[in-house]
Amino acid sequence: MKSTPVRDPANDHLLTPQNCALIIIDYQPPQVFTTVSMDRQVMIDNMRALISTAKNFKLPIILSTVNNSNGRNPDTIPQLKEVLGDIPTIDRTSINSWEDEEFVRAVKATGRKKLLIAALWTDACLLFPTLDALKEGFEVFPVVDCVGANSHEGHRAALQRMIHKGAQPVGWNSVACELQRDWARTATVPGFVQTAVDQGGAWGWYLTLEGEIAAYHNYKGGAELRAADKKSTTENRPH
């Protein structure tokens, strides 16, 4: 098995750790609690996985809130702040974050032209900056399993409008796989796998189960490990 040479990561048409940034907008209690187009707990779990993915691959992360510093809204929910750590927050009064000077400066300062955006709600704080960023020549990737709106109709209409203008919808797991790209890039594999385990979806559940089997029954999962054992047995066989 031999992988092809690594493409130029800055100019790859796919997402790479060197060509994209993660934008997180308004995951505050009023927005989270009034989201109805997606299960809120699943959305939070997916967001935690998305943030962990971004940190594992060392993506620039821009975090923004609305009306927190003036006391009208609480801060980003603690479930996400726990994963975000010391990443600073840009607070705004504008519904459209692209109409906040500090926010736009921070996005452009990353030097990245591919923007992964997760925001609440889909039909406002995700929609408006997506349309503006697209107009300015950015490629925008709304992370659709991390977002929602206060109506199913509004959520669907906003996604259709964004896609019509050129946005490219993705899911958090797709983002993780696209950034990892090759199991031979071993530096980020542990974080990649751990994120799936922590997220707790089907793949994470399977990885957890395989780990338990390995721990209690000395089972070695994966074809490569079994092939290595077979090779070792053959080499040590008396001739």
Peptide bond between residue 203 and the one before it cis (omega within 30 degrees of 0): no
Catalytic residue among 20, 125, 146, 177: 125
pLDDT confidence of residue 224: 47
Q: 94 — alpha (psi -120 to 50), left (phi > 0) or beta?
A: beta
Cα 235 to Cα 231: distance, rounded to the nearest angstrom: 6
CB 59 within 8 A of CB 20: yes
Q: Where do we find the tokens 């750590």?
A: 85
pLDDT confidence of residue 208: 77
The DSSP symbol for 75 reads: -
The strand pair at 114-119 and 20-25 is best described as parallel
- The full length of the chain comes to 239
Give residue 206's pLDDT band: very low, low, confident or very high (50, 70, 90): confident
CB 87 within 8 A of CB 113: no
146 given a catalytic annotation: no
Q: Which residues pair with 23 in a beta bridge?
A: 62, 117
**Taking 90 as the threshold, does the pLDDT of residue 83 lie above it?**
yes
pLDDT-wise least confident of 87-96, 160-169, 212-221:
212-221
